[in-house]
Amino acid sequence: MGEKWTAADLPDLTGTTVVVTGATSGLGLITSRELARVGAHVVLAVRDTRRGADAARSCGGSAEVRELDLADLASVRRFAGAWEGPLDVLINNAGVMAIPQRRTVDGFEMQLGTNHLGPFALTNLLLPQITGRVVSVASNAHRRPGVDVNFDDLNSEREYRPWRAYQQSKLADLLFIQELQRRLTAVGSPVTAHAAHPGYAATNLQRGTGSAVQRILMSFTNRFMAQSESMGALPVLYAATQNLPGGSYTGPDGRGELKGHPAPAALSDNARDPERARRLWEVSESLTGVSFPFTTPEGR
């Protein structure tokens, strides 16, 4: 990619509209601030609109807050149904990580529901109005040994392991982007789909694990090993604004993709598997009741 890319290299986005989910703190807030700084109108799609309003004011540019709870499909439908006009970029940033077992309003395992099924429904419902690109925030965790989509127990009803459920949800994010790009290409759409991951960034995502031991350990590693939220947001900003091929995956360029500036990231073999992606898409349609809004040549 030549010179190290930073937020100072963001293009002028005056006249564009971007939705960022989960934008009250962390990577989502940094991403929103940087996009607003270069002229984009940023819609912070958040559960807590009071915190969202504070976040929107802190962006310093053109920003507004709208309510969205990805763990509630009715909320997703309300958000999408109220959208009017074109949307240039949708950034699926919101997520939870390795939390104690919980269920969404619709009965899905919380990490699967928040990290994959909610964004899956939101994206497909908004697609007729999206003019530019979709970006989903994934994770290096999808490449851990043995990580796969457990189609026999997708909702962790037989067994729940917090970290494995998180890893599965991040693999699902990547399979979603790959299949979404295939479908967009098949219908001749100019919209492109991309994924990015922040490496190991010090955010508040690690505080929700429910384990005091893990919180202490992560507090230590955040302080001495992680990169900043601002650096972690760079791959997301890059994927949202740069000239990239559809289906791209961006992460930090440092060792193990833990730190650094934006560069192409590595996908696991499972994340590149089109058959897994198609199967997950079909299951996701069935679970959410939301389908791809255009007819592909294959009838999908």
Distance, CA of 285 to CA of 124 (rounded, Å): 10
Region of 129 on the Ramachandran plot (φ > 0 left; ψ -120 to 50 alpha; else beta): alpha
Which three-class secondary structure state does DSSP give residue 241? helix
Q: How far apart are CA 242 and CA 246, in angstroms?
A: 11
CB 281 within 8 A of CB 179: yes
Coil, strand or helix: which one is 106?
Answer: coil
Of the listed 166, 200, 238, 249, which one is catalytic? 166
Report strand pairing: 262-264 vs 249-252: antiparallel
Q: Where are the alpha helices (DSSP H) in 24-117?
A: 26-37, 49-58, 73-81, 110-112
Q: Is 166 a catalytic residue?
A: yes
Residue owning tokens 């791809």: 292
3-class secondary-structure state, position 229: helix
CA distance 29 to 18: 13
Residue 189 to residue 204: CA distance in whole angstroms: 36
* Cα gap 31→33, rounded to integer Å: 6
SS3 call for 44: strand
Q: Looking at this protein, which amino acid is placed at residue 210? A: G
List active site positions.
166
